[in-house]
Amino acid sequence: MGIYDIINGIIGPVMGPLKILGPFYVIFLVSLVVSLIVTLVYKWTTDQQLMKSLRDDIKRMQQELKKLKDNPSKSLKIQKEAMDKNMKLMTHSFKSTLITFIPLILIFGWLNMNFSYEPVQPGDNFSTYVFFDGSNLPKNITINVQEGVTLLSAAQAEIKTLGKDEKLPFNNQYLTSKNYGGFIAKGEEVYYAGWQLSGKEGEHLVDYYVDGKDIPYTQNILVSKTDYDKPLQKIEDGIVKGTMVDQGKLIVMNLFGWKLGWLGCYIIFSILFSTLMRKLLKVY
């Protein structure tokens, strides 16, 4: 069982039903609830009178420093005092950070796994690819699809080559990102074969048959209005580097031409909600 399955197993039963609302409203609600919980935990686990006193002292010292540009020795003394106050502030708030850290990691992991890609919609055309190790290219590769998936191109595909300086023509921007399961290095030659498919709603398997291999490479494809399976599958067995369902980045919000994914939206919403809640609840 991988980390993907563990996080989905813990968070999925609670968060999964929200997905019918759509990505924007899920991120909006999660940001709102998380900001509220974090603010309340912070308030309940800190001495608010002490926190207010420390913040007021730091603010006062910052004002004093602006007036002491021509007095380096006194300015240095106040800077040291301000650093001590900041350290006390951080130390006192550490408990609340510790309490919320693991839940936040799980929530971020779930959001990343469920809102990074556009789902493969029922009836829509999509592409799958197999990527090869350039030192051991097969002569032929053929795809086999099961019931529920329609093959829109020839079953046997030509292996193509992209030069080191050529732009990758794929929608999946994480193909070269190891943090997201990518298996292609930037600036290397790329050898690949691809197919056009369409599918009914549901979970499907496709098999890729390569010359010299008795057992096919298999990829799971989830066709759904809201969900998707992992598009990138790393193999690296000396022949095949990996397989990919070519899904683009999920755009949650288009803010005046600034196309934001789930993380950008979450950051904006959480800053707004946290600022508002701290003022309403008088949290320092």
Taking residues 57-78, what's their average pLDDT?
Answer: 82
What digits encode the pLDDT tens for the residues 111-128?
999 999 999 999 999 999
Which amino acid, 199? G
pLDDT at 1 over 60: no
What value, to the nearest 5°, has the Cα angle with vertex 23 and ends 96 and 228?
105
Which residue range(s) make up the domain with 30?
3-117+260-280
Q: What are the two backbone dihedrals, phi and then psi, of residue 217, each rounded to the nearest 5 degrees?
A: -85, 135
How confident is the model at residue 93, as a pLDDT? 83
Q: Are residues 93 and 142 in the same domain?
A: no
Task: Answer whether residue 274 shows pLDDT above 90.
Answer: yes
| Same domain membership, residue 272 and residue 170 | no
195: nearest Cα among 153, 146, 247, 161? 153
Q: Model confidence at 52, in pLDDT bands (50, 70, 90)?
A: confident
Regarding whether 274 and 204 lie in a shared domain, the answer is no
pTM equals 0.83
Same domain, 24 and 79: yes
Q: Give one word for 120, left, alpha or beta, with left for phi > 0 and alpha for psi -120 to 50.
A: beta
Digit-coded pLDDT (tens) for 193-237 = 999 999 999 999 999 999 878 899 999 999 999 999 999 999 999
* Cα 47 versus chain centre, distance: 35
User: Confidence class of residue 2 from pLDDT cuts 50, 70 and 90?
Assistant: low
Q: Kindly state the tokens that stand for 1.
A: 């069982």
Q: Please report whether residue 252 resides in a domain.
A: no
Which amino acid is present at 57? D
- Tell me how crowded residue 261 is: count the other CB atoms within 10 A of its CB: 19
Tokens of 130: 């197999």
Kindly state whether residue 224 falls inside one of the protein's structural domains. Answer: yes
Q: Does 3 have pLDDT greater than 80?
A: no
Q: Quick check: is 254 in a domain?
A: no
Q: Residue 253 domain-assigned?
A: no
Which whole number is the average pLDDT over 136-156?
A: 94
Q: Locate all alpha helices (DSSP H) within 93-158, ordered by sequence.
A: 94-114
Query: How far is Cα 2 from Cα 231, in angstroms, rounded to an integer?
Result: 15
Q: Are 160 and 77 members of one domain?
A: no
pLDDT over 70, % of the chain: 99
Domain count, the chain: 2
CA 164 to chain centre: 27
Q: Taking Cα atoms as reference points, which of 139, 149, 169 lies closest to residue 219?
A: 149
